[in-house]
Structure 1
Amino acid sequence: MEVAYQTRLGKAYIGDSLDLLKTLNEDSVNLVITSPPFALLRQKEYGNKNGEAYIEWLTEFAKAIKPILTEDGSFVIDLGGSYQKGAPVRSLYNYKVLIKFCEELGYNLAEEFFWYNSSKLPSPIEWVNKRKIRAKDSVNTVWWFSKSKFPKADVKNVLVPYSDRMKKLLKSKKHFYDPALRPSGHDISAGFNKDNGGAIPSNLLQIPNSDSNSNYLRFSRKLKIKAHPARFPSRLPEFFIKYLTNPNDIVLDIFGGSNTTGMAADRLGRQWISCEMDKQYVAASVFRFSDDINVAKKNYDLIMDGKSVEIKDDTDITLF
């Protein structure tokens, strides 16, 4: 286990996160958020298992995570869906993961979220594009597990803009509705039109994964370095980091990939730890922390040469 680079708030490690988890103190991490390789039938270049072997493999990480979570900590995991081999029938692996973590490992399901990626390409090709008997799979399940029944959370930190209708209601005060018990059973009180700074978000997270011009991708293209093929958008970890942690809390991603989570945590003033087995992916993820391609390339080369770098700002790095 080696540190590839660090910022003032976090460290990116190269190695097996099961080994890293053994070194962390109990009750020390406030949020683990990650997107592991999915249980796909077709092998991907970034590695994946499938079937029951996948569930058992992922369970080993969940077991190791629970002791290092704070009592009010959370474990958020993004899992894409898949189909059974050779048939247009969905795999239940992500739901089996949910049940296993709760019933066997003692996690609580604080809430289920669904990430809708409107820019996702049609898949699987056989059932959607060729035979045209299934719709495009555009939604991932995102399980929010907690160690206790009352994890740290503050929805005020993730309010969303009001709809135009609500803005009109707030502006007009009582002109658009009368306080009353609705047929649905909802009691619409006189305080319904209070401006709280935004609306409570739903558990459907509509976040397109369409980034094409970040420093990470621009530098990767210019330097002819292959980018990680399965990145999630920064708005996904940002939502949960703001929702479930406070400034200076510790955020951990055990399948760091291109370190989107570390970048998001750093920007939000949280301490962070990222771990990824592939050295080249870790080295390229340093592009997320620089606006200067020459500095970024120097950092990349140092990491690929087995050096650890400390990122102080965009023009000043030191070895440690």
Structure 2
Amino acid sequence: MINELLPLFNNTEGVNTFYDTEKGTAVLGDSFEVMSKMQDNSVNLILTSPPFALTRKKEYGNKSADEYVDWFMNFAREFYRILAPDGSLVIDLGGAYLPGYPTRSVYQFELLVRMVKELNFFLAQEFYHYNPSRLPAPAEWVTVRRIRVKDSVNVVWWLSKTEFPKASNRNVLKEYSDSMKSLLKNGYKAKLRPSGHDISDNFSKNNEGAIPANLLELANTESNSSYMQRCKAAGIKPHPARFPKGFSDFFIKFLTDENDIVFEPFGGSNTTGSSAEELNRHWLSVELNQDYLEGSIFRFPELIVDEAEPNNTQLDLNI
């Protein structure tokens, strides 16, 4: 494990480093057990897309909606403990239908309420992760009976221990639209809009970009990425439920500073660690499945010997 992450831990016995990079460490193990060894108030951002509560079991170990909230609350208590006072917890959660019926589970909302009421988290803001490339599902209700539309949005809870967590939307500004660029170039006459909003001269100030909305449109189309190609070449099955790198890039830039510590408790293909590495943040990622960790090495070019084989010199190291 890199020296910068060692102060995170009260003790490192049984914490098995799978590989190190310049800025972070991937650990093979149970994140609940790893967190139990970590210091209070030590992590600036916990960013994760945990296994969703789905009707059908998936290979990455999801729970049913009935048991999911209780299962996740055990992790949430540790999240609260290890999170820095001004830190943030971001959770990307997909929806689920009730078994056998075209009606929805409300497990994401039950989880949110319990985390706020029982653990004293604050809901800083809700986001919505829209994936326009998602396939229509469940087929029974969407493509066979045609009584529901395609489910393409995950809820994202941004939670914190204080009402004022570290954040700056200046770090995630979007390029201005053509109409806004024209307005900045040609000027704008302040006036009262039909809605009653008074638009002042400040509206024409160039702030180097537009403030993004809380709807994140991010297509998950990674089928031809270097990660996927290298996994295929090495005969390693990629993680089946990856979130797009734009997702982790956005929240890391929005909610942390350089050299802050980002923690991913359900590492998967380690998109979070890859984003943190590129954005000059320290990171710690924990994954229970060794196959997924072996594939995640391909996110880090410096660990790759050639196009087919990962650099195994970092594997099986103990702290």
TM-score, normalized by length of structure 1?
Answer: 0.92
Matches of 2:42 and 2:33 in 1, distance apart?
Answer: 16
Matches of 1:56 and 1:39 in 2, distance apart?
Answer: 12
State the match for 1:276 in structure 2.
Answer: 287
Matches of 2:273 and 2:105 in 1, distance apart?
Answer: 31
Where do 1:1-150 residues align within 5 Å?
1-150=15-164
Report the secondary structure of 1:75's partner residue.
strand
Superposed displacement of residue 216, structure 1: 1.1
- Return the letter of the residue paired with 2:316: K
Matches of 2:255 and 2:155 in 1, distance apart?
Answer: 18
State the match for 2:244 in structure 1.
Answer: 233
Matches of 1:103 and 1:296 in 2, distance apart?
Answer: 49
State the match for 1:307 in structure 2.
Answer: 316
Report the secondary structure of 2:119's partner residue.
coil
User: 2:268 matched to 1:254?
Assistant: no
Counting aligned pairs with the same residue, the percent is: 50
Do the aligned residues in 1 keep the contact of 2:45 with 2:261 (CA within 8 Å)?
Answer: yes
RMSD: 1.7
Matches of 2:77 and 2:217 in 1, distance apart?
Answer: 30
TM-score, normalized by length of structure 2?
Answer: 0.92
Matches of 1:145 and 1:93 in 2, distance apart?
Answer: 17
Matches of 1:302 and 1:128 in 2, distance apart?
Answer: 48
User: 2:229 matched to 1:211?
Assistant: no
Q: Show structure 1 runs of 4+ deviating over 6 A.
A: none
Do the aligned residues in 2 keep the contact of 1:252 with 1:273 (CA within 8 Å)?
Answer: yes
Matches of 2:306 and 2:258 in 1, distance apart?
Answer: 28
Superposed displacement of residue 308, structure 1: 3.3
Superposed displacement of residue 222, structure 1: 1.3
Superposed displacement of residue 42, structure 1: 0.2
Does 189-198 or 293-302 show the bigger shift? 293-302
Cα displacement string for residues 80-117 of structure 1 (whole angstroms, at most 9, x for unaligned residues): 01101111001101111111111111100000000000
Superposed displacement of residue 37, structure 1: 0.6
Report the secondary structure of 1:246's partner residue.
coil
Cα displacement string for residues 195-236 of structure 1 (whole angstroms, at most 9, x for unaligned residues): 111000000000100112222101011122110000000000
Matches of 1:100 and 1:169 in 2, distance apart?
Answer: 46
Matches of 2:305 and 2:88 in 1, distance apart?
Answer: 38
Matches of 1:211 and 1:49 in 2, distance apart?
Answer: 26
Superposed displacement of residue 183, structure 1: 3.0
Report the secondary structure of 2:79's partner residue.
helix
- Return the letter of the residue paired with 1:159: L
Matches of 2:307 and 2:79 in 1, distance apart?
Answer: 32
Matches of 1:108 and 1:87 in 2, distance apart?
Answer: 33
Aligned residues between the structures: 305
Consecutive unaligned residues of structure 1, counting only runs of 5 or more, are 310-319
Do the aligned residues in 1 keep the contact of 2:130 with 2:153 (CA within 8 Å)?
Answer: yes
Report the secondary structure of 1:251's partner residue.
strand
